[in-house]
């Protein structure tokens, strides 16, 4: 039997109470008799009645929605963070709505639109470009948290920032390789023009070389797009161009896995012939063969801090803040020491 769409009015009629009372029962308001509660509950139960959230939201003029906007295709790294965020948000009694938007959508504009249209309480933006927000964030009139790469302590009016310092983190990776005696180092990363994160990490790499008094030559850098296959091809190209590389830094663990496959196919043993270091610290890296050495981002903390900041902002009207989290280096089996 398919229950037809009932309204609160039908419940009122069937239970013998008024619309107001039914509404009060359904919202657990205090001033309502036990009799009414029971009668209404019975009818609701019988008909599996559910309030129309459109009408309710329209009337209340605000939802309990918190938007999570993720830029770019899903990847295993973001997915983990989103999952944690969703969980935390629902624990706080809110509703998480996730939106995946295209890499080339105007994130800021779209975000503002979605927010206003859905009357959400706030939004968390994952993987957005801080540069875009700098100019356009006033289009968003809800509290927002931007969870992405950060450099300096920017502060905005109602935009909080949570992230790591990607430049420093990447520098840590190259430092590690250099300290292990590697001098012929290849780098696989994103497009430094279009991807702000890649640009930051690229800067970090260069800083490391400079700090060690070494040159960094563009031919060491190979572009890929953060996918397995793209990194796989990039690694093959790079090795063809620079066969004497002894180490590879990949700007994501997923890319590191793609690259490692390529190296294996080329007959290169890891780390005996070529060392590999990744970035992100996904769980999978520890299960790869060999275990991946990587720069580990604090995934859970990124999620926690973002959600906490946003909810504080919503509930306490607290000021926007900027939180920069630390990364760590997880040693696996994919980097070896070179003796000179």
Partner DNA sequence: GTCACAGCTGGAAACGTTACCAGAAACGTT
Partner DNA sequence: AACGTTTCTGGTAACGTTTCCAGCTGTGAC
Name the residues that contact DNA, by CB under 7 A.
Answer: 5, 7-9, 16-21, 23-24, 26-27, 30-36, 51-52, 55-56, 58-61
Answer with the entry of a second copy, DNA, none that 24 interacts with (C-beta below 5 to 8 A by kind): DNA
For 99, the enclosing helix (H) or strand (E) is strand 95-101
Which of 140, 143, 169, 165 minimizes the C-alpha distance to 154? 165
- Contact partner at residue 17 from DNA, a second copy, none, CB < 5 to 8 Å by partner kind: DNA
Q: How far is the CB of 62 from DNA (least distance, A)?
A: 10
Q: Which of 166, 171, 162 is nearest to 206 (CA)?
A: 171
Q: With respect to a second copy, which residue has the nearer C-beta, 66 or 82?
A: 82
Q: Is 1 in the site for a second copy (CB under 8 A)?
A: yes
Helix (H) or strand (E) holding 21: helix 19-26
User: For residues 266 and 259, is the Cβ–Cβ distance under 8 A?
Assistant: no
Q: What are phi and psi of 15, to 5 degrees?
A: -90, -10
How many beta carbons lie within 10 A of that of residue 106, not counting itself? 14
Task: Return the number of the residue (53 or 326) whose C-beta is nearest a second copy.
Answer: 53
Computed on alpha carbons and rounded to an integer, the radius of gyration of the chain in Å comes to 26
| Residue choice 283, 315, 328, 331 for contact with a second copy (CB under 8 A) | 283
Which listed option, a second copy, DNA, none, makes contact with residue 286 (CB within 5 to 8 Å by class)? a second copy
Regarding 154 and contact with a second copy (CB under 8 A), the answer is no
Q: How far is the CB of 64 from a second copy (least distance, A)?
A: 12
The structure tokens 């100019």 sit at 135
Residue of 77, 53, 49 whose CA lies nearest to 64: 53
| Cis check: omega of the bond before 300, within 30 degrees of 0 | no
Q: Which residues bind a second copy (CB under 8 A)?
A: 1-3, 5, 48, 50-55, 57-58, 63, 73-74, 76, 79-80, 82-83, 86, 97-98, 100, 112-113, 116-119, 138-139, 141, 228-229, 232, 257-258, 260-261, 264, 283-284, 286-289, 291
């Amino acid at each position: 039997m398919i229950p037809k769409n009932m309204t609160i009015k039908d419940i009122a009629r069937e239970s013998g109470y008024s619309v107001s009372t039914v509404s009060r029962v359904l919202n657990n308001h205090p001033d309502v008799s036990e009799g009414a509660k029971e009668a209404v509950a019975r009818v609701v139960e019988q008909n599996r009645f559910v309030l129309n959230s459109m009408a309710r939201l329209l009337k209340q003029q605000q939802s309990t929605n918190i938007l999570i906007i993720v830029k770019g295709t899903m990847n295993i790294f973001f997915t983990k963070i989103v999952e944690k965020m969703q969980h935390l948000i629902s624990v706080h009694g809110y509703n998480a709505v996730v939106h995946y938007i295209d890499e080339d959508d105007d994130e800021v504009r779209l975000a503002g639109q979605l927010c206003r249209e859905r009357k959400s309480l706030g939004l968390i933006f994952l993987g957005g470009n801080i540069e875009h927000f700098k100019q356009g964030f006033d289009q968003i009139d809800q509290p927002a948290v931007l969870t992405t790469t950060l450099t300096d302590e920017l502060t905005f009016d109602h935009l909080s920032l949570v992230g790591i310092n990607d430049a420093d983190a990447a520098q840590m990776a190259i430092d590690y390789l250099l300290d292990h005696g590697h001098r012929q180092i290849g780098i696989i990363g994103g497009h430094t023009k279009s991807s702000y994160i890649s640009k930051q990490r690229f800067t970090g790499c260069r800083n490391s070389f400079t700090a060690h008094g070494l040159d960094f030559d563009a031919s060491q850098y190979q572009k890929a797009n953060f996918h397995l296959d793209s990194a796989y091809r990039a690694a093959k190209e790079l090795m063809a161009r620079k066969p004497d590389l002894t180490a590879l830094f990949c700007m994501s663990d997923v890319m590191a896995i793609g690259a490692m496959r390529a190296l294996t196919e080329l007959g290169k043993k890891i780390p005996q012939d070529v060392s590999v270091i990744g970035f992100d610290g996904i769980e999978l890296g520890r299960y790869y063969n060999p275990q991946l050495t990587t720069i580990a981002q604090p995934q859970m903390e990124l999620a926690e801090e973002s959600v906490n900041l946003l909810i504080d902002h919503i509930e306490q009207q607290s000021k926007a803040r900027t939180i920069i989290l630390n990364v760590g280096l997880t040693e696996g089996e994919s980097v070896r020491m070179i003796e000179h």
